[in-house]
Amino acid sequence: MIDAVFWVLVGVATVTSVGTAWTLGANSNSPPFAPAIGANAVSTMRAAFLIGILAAFGALTQGGSISETVGAGLIDGVAITSLAATAGLLTATGFMAFGIYSGYPVPAAFATTGAMIGVGLSLGGDPAIDTYRRIATFWVLVPPASGGLAYLTATMLRHDDIPETVGVPLLAATVGAIVANIRLGVIPSPPGASQNSVAGFAAGFVTAPVVGGVNAVVVVVTALAAAASFWFIRRRVEESIETGIRTFLVILGSVVAFSSGGSQVGLATGPLENLYTTELGLPGIVLLVLGATGILAGAWMGAPRLLQATSREYAQLGVRRSIAALVPGFIIAQLAIGLGIPISFNNIIISGIIGGGLAGGSAGVSNRKIGVTLAFWLITLVSSVAIGFGLYRALAAVLGG
């Protein structure tokens, strides 16, 4: 009887996790391509197809760090059981479903983090204060960092002394340099490699001096990636400014969608980390495959309608403000993945839109709307802790475990 209940809980938790990943694929991973659609650089259906592939690939190659944080880093002293994982996922999914149907901005990262803290405390675990401090600091810094980067980006793109044949390729070079150094699980780490990245992989095969803690090969590969990106986009912009900006929007949307998959999948798979890797003895990649499959299905089935709606909003923003909002989104998402911190893409993108709007003299978002959004984020975090705590206690009382 106990085994039967356990496997039922495994099934329920797994289905809920895939359902959460589906929701993330349909909603959280869609905004990166909306500017390209609004600029008529790519069709809605092709964008949905690309989002699914890129976000799923990002989930497989970059989702491990955040999944581990959500599954094991939020509570000390106890391991998340199958029943606790089910309670946490149901709580987080309930919040996200409420946000979808009500139109209120419910951040998935806040809901999932709060829910897992709640069920962990209900299990008798101790608060992981150091982890909370690190996550809270990052979350607090996201709005000014994203808004500030967007402001600087938009100002550069609007500055009369910086022609678009220089400004846009410079942004492309920045993105290319970061791409060369992002961590990818599919890249092996040879002896001497500093990290699982293209630049780090190359450094593992060449003996080179280390200056200031940085391998010279990493610097060279990074510079080459930046130069190649600059050259490609500059050629496109010189042929036609409109064509060049559209091309950059598609590329930028692609890398942000990839980053979104890597940063968001852990919200769906994290609660099952202990269940799959410890209790069932399965490798972590199995869990990431489940999450990536859910994200892929969600993007292909649910993203087109959201893309059509958000593309109209981005079309009103204009391509330069759209670029200004997406560049910090990519940078901050990759930083969060490297640190293993769950984040809300809504938080990053909204902050970026506000910062880009300020460069034009108006944020384009009312103070009331900003206040309501921030208040709802805080309410989501606090209430998800309470509901996760109570739901686990209720399920444990009913099922006796």
DSSP count for the chain of H helices, then E strands? 16, 4
pLDDT for res 394: 92
pLDDT for res 57: 92
Mode of pairing for the β-strands spanning 75-76 and 214-215: unpaired
Tell me which residue has tokens 């709640």: 118
Enumerate the domain spans of the chain. 2-399
pLDDT for res 223: 93
Identify the three-state secondary structure at position 127.
strand
**What type of residue is 394?**
A
Give the model confidence (pLDDT) of 280-318 as tens digits. 888 888 999 999 999 999 888 877 777 776 666 666 667
Tell me which residue has tokens 């409420």: 98
In order, the DSSP letters of 290-327 are: HHHHHHHHHHHHHHHHHHHHHHHHHHHH-HHHHHHHHH
- What residue ranges of the chain have pLDDT lower than 70? 1-2, 100, 102-105, 186-195, 208, 211-213, 309-317, 359-370, 400-401
Report field, pTM of the whole predicted structure over 0.85: yes
pLDDT for res 211: 66
Q: CA 38, CA 44: separation in Å to the nearest integer?
A: 9
pLDDT for res 282: 86
pLDDT for res 192: 47
Tokens representing 362 are: 């108006």
Give the model confidence (pLDDT) of 86-102 as tens digits. 899 889 888 887 776 76
pLDDT for res 1: 46
**What type of residue is 166?**
V
Half-sphere exposure of residue 284: CA atoms within 13 angstroms, side-chain side: 18
Q: Is the dihedral of CA 319, 324, 325, 326 positive or negative?
A: positive
